[in-house]
Chains A and B, each alone.
Chain A
Amino acid sequence: MLLISCPFCGERGEAEFAWGGEPVARPSFSATDAEWGDYLYNRTNVKGRNRELWRHAGGCGQWFVMERDTVTHEIFGTVRVGA
């Protein structure tokens, strides 16, 4: 069981949290099909240290950013979005 530190609520068990994916930037509406497809579907799927969005779904409901190793599951830190 991972202990995850919500920037708003403090440390809670992993079962309260939902993974929210790699941060992606929405392209403009004039984007080509290839650009839209890339935005919607393609992911870097990093092996190792990675920046991800998470949400305290079973708690305060807030989104935040976590830095995490996808092999060891070590958590390096959590910060509010934009911080």
Chain B
Amino acid sequence: MRYSAMQLIRQGISGAPWEPAWRTPELAASYDAVVIGGGGHGLAAAYYLRAVQGVKRVAVLERGWIGGGNTGRNTTIVRSNYFFPESAAMYDFALRLYEGLSEALNYNIMLSQRGVLNLAHSEHDFDLMRRSVNAMLLNGIDVELLSAAQVQREVDLLNFAPDARFPIHGGFVQRRGGVARHDAVAWAYARAASALGVDVIQGCEVTGFVREGDRVVGVETSLGRVSAGVVGMSVAGHSGVLAGMAGFRLPITSYALQAMVSEPLKPILNTVVMSTATGMYVSQSDKGELVFGQGLDLYPSYGQRGNLPVAQTIVASMLEMFPAFRRLKMLRQWAGVVDVCWDYSPIIGPSPAPGLFMNCGWGTGGFKASPVGGWLLARSMATGGHHELSRPFDLGRFTSGRLVDEAAGAGIAH
């Protein structure tokens, strides 16, 4: 069924039930390509395997439910304001795919390019920011440096008091950045992939790999064995667990990353605000809640909860920056398990196990890259090699030492 205003009116008048957005097929015994992980990245990979790479029989295996992992747990921010050319090229490709995604998939992902505003809190912060902005401009990214007065014109709510703990010395904005509805991204890819014949299998946990010699030729699952021409993994925080099943280790550590929302408010914040010094980022959802988060929890974790000391720091940072929010009640708090690489850049491409391809290591910033992660994983699975965008992010950089060190380079929250 094609979604349109006419269809909405027709369904509304007739009262007929909407057909499910995707099919729920039985797991087949064999596929040309199997993608492990039904989050935004995995579903995008399945869609692009079918739609762009022309692979015939494709399945996505999801242990839980579609988009129930980090895809449904992030703060929905999209942006491409990265320091290194390799990163900027890749993340901007993702942003361009996002810009056309509602049309391409016939599903409203509610992309709102309301801008992403980053703050500088000292002269030194601002000097470093100028350097980053220059690098981003050279990378072709649409960023603008703002003076403190310009920041105040954009977001009057920020703490401009003379005794502010984090005084505002300026900032920069990427106008094409913003937010998108995270669930809708997963549902849109699942629906579009399913319509093209991809089997989206929920409640199917991968428990091991089937090998022929060295080569991965399938997966063992809770629903039985599946043979596959090629296997891709897109499982974020559980990448290390799957790598362990395949007999190798990764330069990845899994942490809990928290986010939370306040009670809903009338529209009050019309952009995304991020601060390097406090690590905090906040935006207002379409439902009116303030959605905010900060840095990683202090030690590795596979618990989707988050610990209390960090939760307190997050709230304290936001209240320092936005004194007007002090009387708000919190509505929900949660965490996702994120796969953090040493250089805060992802790992895409062939794995040490032939026949198995990876898309992982996105750490704290995977949502904004869902389209490109899927696109590049599909490309790598179909060709066995790299696209020029994914080559710098090959696992081999941890042997050669040629890291793409966004952790140090950008000095921005990921």
> A residues engaging B (CB < 8 A)?
1-2, 13-15, 18-19, 33-34, 37-38, 40-48, 52, 70-73
Contact = CB atoms under 8 A, between A and B. Distances in A.
Query: Interface SS of chain B: helix, strand, loop or mixed?
Result: mixed
B223 interface: no
B82 to A, nearest CB: 21
B240 A44 contact: yes
Interface in B360-403: 398-401
B112 interface: no
Contacts of A15: 309
Contacts of A73: 301, 303, 307
A2 B302 contact: no
Contact of A47 (B250, B252, B302, B401): B302
Interface of B: 238, 240-241, 244, 249-254, 298-303, 307-309, 342, 398-401
B107 to A, nearest CB: 34
B69 to A, nearest CB: 14
A70 B250 contact: no
A41 B342 contact: yes
Contacts of B399: 33-34, 37
A52 B401 CA distance: 25
A6 B52 CA distance: 56
Nearest to A50: B300
A29 B219 CA distance: 39
A17 to B, nearest CB: 8
Contacts of B303: 70-73
Nearest to B403: A41
Contact of B250 (A2, A13, A42): A42
Nearest to B248: A42
A43 B398 contact: no
A43 B302 contact: no
Contacts of A72: 303
B342 A33 contact: no
B252 A19 contact: no
B298 A38 contact: no
A41 B303 CA distance: 23
A52 B253 CA distance: 13
A15 B252 CA distance: 24
Contacts of B249: 38, 42-45
A43 B250 contact: yes
30 contacts: A1-B307, A1-B308, A1-B309, A13-B309, A19-B298, A19-B299, A33-B399, A33-B400, A34-B399, A37-B399, A37-B401, A38-B249, A41-B251, A42-B398, A43-B249, A43-B253, A44-B244, A45-B241, A45-B250, A46-B240, A47-B238, A47-B240, A47-B241, A47-B302, A48-B302, A52-B300, A70-B300, A72-B303, A73-B301, A73-B307
